[in-house]
Chains A and B, each alone.
Chain A
Amino acid sequence: MSGVTPSVATESERHPVDAALAARLAAIVGDRRVLFRPGELLAYSSDGLPGYLKQPSIAVFPGTRDEVIAVVRELARAGAPFVPRGAGTGLSGGALADGVVLLGLNRLSRILSIDAENAIAVVEPGVVNVALSRAVSAHGLHYAPDPSSQAACTIGGNVAENAGGPHCLKYGVTLNHVVALTVALPNGEVVTLGNAAGENDGYDLVGAFVGSEGCFGVALDVTVRLARNPQAVRTLLADFHSIDAGARAVSAIIASGLLPAALEMMDAGTIRAVEASIYAAGYPTDAAAVLLVELDGPIAGLDADVATVVRHCRDAGARDVRVARDEAERTKLWQGRKKAFGAMGRISSHLVVQDAVVPRTKLPQMLARVHDIAERYRVTVCNVFHAGDGNLHPNIGYDANDPDESARVHAAMREIMQACVDAGGTITGEHGVGIDKLPYMGAIFSEESLSAMCALREVFDPDRRANPGKVVPMHSCREWQMAPAARTGQH
């Protein structure tokens, strides 16, 4: 995404660098791996979410597991808050460090072991998502969660955000693929969560840790489950003269009980942006919407399922449905989808992206609602999203230097989010809360529920030094600190 100008002042003046801490960190990782001058830190003042700039006080980049542990312990001794960061591709501002230490984990990029027989691998947190799939492809395996940023994002970041991706419709999200973890708690203690070699009893701490957005500690290694490559894959492109028709096709396919590997939708604005970019995929530019549907599995019976999908698309009013003839065409169709955000970034100077989820039967009415809201606020919404999961990514391109347009864009986004919540949905399906969705947490969770989340966080991080100020609004946490007896008396 391009041309972002600071919308929030950097705060390094308010948090003078602790030179002594920087020196102690340098003693662990080497001088070159500790940055603290404002100029050096600029590259680490944003993540994948445009519109925010927050400068860390220090950025430290350990290269080994032992260095990570030593750094975390040094930060604990200093009482210093810190923000773990993978590749910085997150879309919720979760890796922004506002005047605190940024702990970069991207140098821990070794795949520690691959056990093809049991379809598991142990990786360091900085391993790039797609690098893992490449490394295991010779065994006929892949790592199933495939966020659009998979060429850059790391497994550690995926774990923190419980990342999804198009193929999570069938294969499940990160949570369903993490077996065990070794974690450095914020106090520097190293613990193992889960059981890589058998069943787990006791509390599901792996489940608690995955998606904790860097608030529960730092993963040192992650044992992931690998998926077997399907015997056959069929990729279809269906195009529609209206968004409503496309949305009805999605609802019909899901209701039929078929479980496509992926079911993605793009609207006219997205199609045109993609086709005007170097990622042109051959989507029909006069279509109001296209559906990208992938079915995979054993060859036997697969084409019967393809026929069912084609029928549902035609019944909903598809103008054309074509099946990719070969791997090259398939790759091209997917490239357009995966690079859609990049393509849209070319058009507008600023882009806001949402990540709401609605029940799948509500998709047609919700897309109509999004359209109405956009018209009312005179903004242009593009939709590119995981339709099969009901996971919407409405995004609006705009010029942040235009205060009137900015105000309309943000008002429209708030209304879209509220509409999704009112439809029984949620505020984030895969990007995480970070700081961007914090204001919406109260719309879906009661104070009691938010307090319970704070309580869980404090088990892992009683000092609240790991990724402070993210995920749960702080006022909810203050509630929790009251004595239990006082709280139980309230209604």
Chain B
Amino acid sequence: MAPASLAELRESIRDAIARRCPLRVVSRGSWLDANRPVHADTRLEVGAYAGIVEYEPGDLTLTARAGTTLHEIARATSANGQWLALDPLGDPSRATLGATIATGSYGPLAHHFGTPRDMTLGVEFVSGTGDVVRGGGRVVKNVAGFDLTRLVTGAWGSLGVLTEATVRLRALPSVEATLLIDIGSATAELERARTALRGLPFVPLAVQLVDAAARQALGVAGGRDAFIVRLGGNEEAVRAQREQLRGIGEAHDVDTEIWRRARVAEPAGAAVVRLSRLPSRFAATWQDAERIAERWPGGQLHGDPGRGVVRVVLPVDGNVLDASLRAALEIPFDGTRIYERLPRALWPALAPTAMHGAIDRGVKAAFDPHYLLNPGIFGELQ
């Protein structure tokens, strides 16, 4: 099913409700192997429902249909010196606005700008009851009604099929620079650099700590861990930021292109887990992540010290035994472990559900009473 209009989309869903036919909601399909397996044979393809609906540059807001690609949005906004400051993993010419919001996906820019929940102003979706529902609006400030926008952001299409969203834009910085700072692999050295970064009088656009394997994949090979820092602002501001970074370690410029590369450098189908704790414990979280990566050939790490999150990427080919992958992933860890992608068979063992209580189950039942939208994606039927 690939409906081309809102009316058709709603009809498809109402038809599925009448037939009690579970649906796998698909946009351009680039994230289909992420999160828990969905128990549905019928695909509802919504990627064709695309296009910018309203863009008034002076408002710094943009409304687009869910199938609009991030590339298309970037093209329209950059012509006016603006951007949607979201850089989730994946090829921007395939990643859609709807999928990005539905999966709550973000990238290194979250360090400064936050995640989709912080920049989505309003949504339209077709719920599992077949209703066309709008939450929020098109203006930058809005508290009218209960917040359905936050509810469907990051809900992985399990409550409704996103059809349209309004997002807040930012001005592109007039000057940008990206610097790489080598640091030693000792925990004390990492902690010193992290503290120094935190003490800066400005918040960089992005800060990523990368290990040697991730550096290799990004084309900035080096034997040690390194911070990659993205600066932005007016000319004077960026000049001062460069000066201040010097206090942390030897910094050298790398091509800003590295951020685009980072979005597509990851091996396809890799098993991915994000470890997080409070930012003050970032060095310890990084060490825990290293313990996983060390036990896996080709394992690579990158993390955001400001958010306290480390992403562990373990390449998986057809010959990998689930049991050995599981053994690598199951280190003792007292923080939060969120899996992005796993071989199908490992989900029930490692992360059976993201439904934490009666409210989560109640929300699902209220918006998708027949359990037809991406059933299983939060582990709710297991």
Contact = CB atoms under 8 A, between A and B. Distances in A.
Interface of A: 115, 117-118, 120, 161-162, 164, 168, 172-173, 175-176, 185, 189, 191, 193, 195, 197-199, 201-208, 210-212, 215, 231, 251, 254-259, 297-302, 304-305, 357-361, 386, 389-391, 424-433, 437, 441, 444-446, 448-453, 455-460, 471-472, 484, 487-488
Given A360-B58, A452-B127, A459-B366, A198 B336 contact: yes
Contacts of A206: 150
Most buried by A among B131, B154, B237, B239: B131
Given A118-B279, A472-B146, A297 B139 contact: no
Contacts of A164: 141, 143
Contact of B140 (A304, A305, A390, A427): A390
A208 B151 contact: yes
Interface string B223-257: 00000000001111111110000000000000000
A361 B59 contact: yes
Nearest to B233: A301
Contacts of B280: 115, 117-118
B308 A198 contact: yes
Nearest to B116: A204
Contact of B131 (A251, A389, A459, A487): A487
B261 interface: no
Given A168-B141, A444-B137, A488 B130 contact: yes
B236 A300 contact: yes
Most buried by A among B141, B280, B367: B141
A204 B148 CA distance: 10
A301 B236 contact: yes
Interface of B: 14, 17-18, 56-61, 81-82, 104, 114, 117-118, 127, 129-135, 137-151, 153-155, 159, 170-172, 201-202, 233-241, 274, 276-280, 307-309, 335-336, 338, 354-360, 362-363, 366-367, 369-370, 378
Given A191-B357, A300-B241, A425-B139, A199 B276 contact: yes
A444 B145 CA distance: 10
A162 B143 contact: yes
A254 B14 CA distance: 43
A199 B274 contact: yes
A484 B338 CA distance: 34
A107 B357 CA distance: 30
Nearest to B145: A453
A445 B146 CA distance: 11
B234 A301 contact: yes
Contacts of B366: 455-456, 458-459
B142 A357 contact: yes
A202 B146 contact: no
Contacts of B378: 202
B250 to A, nearest CB: 21
A441 B145 contact: yes
Given A176-B114, A198-B335, A430-B141, A203 B131 contact: no
Contacts of B202: 297-298
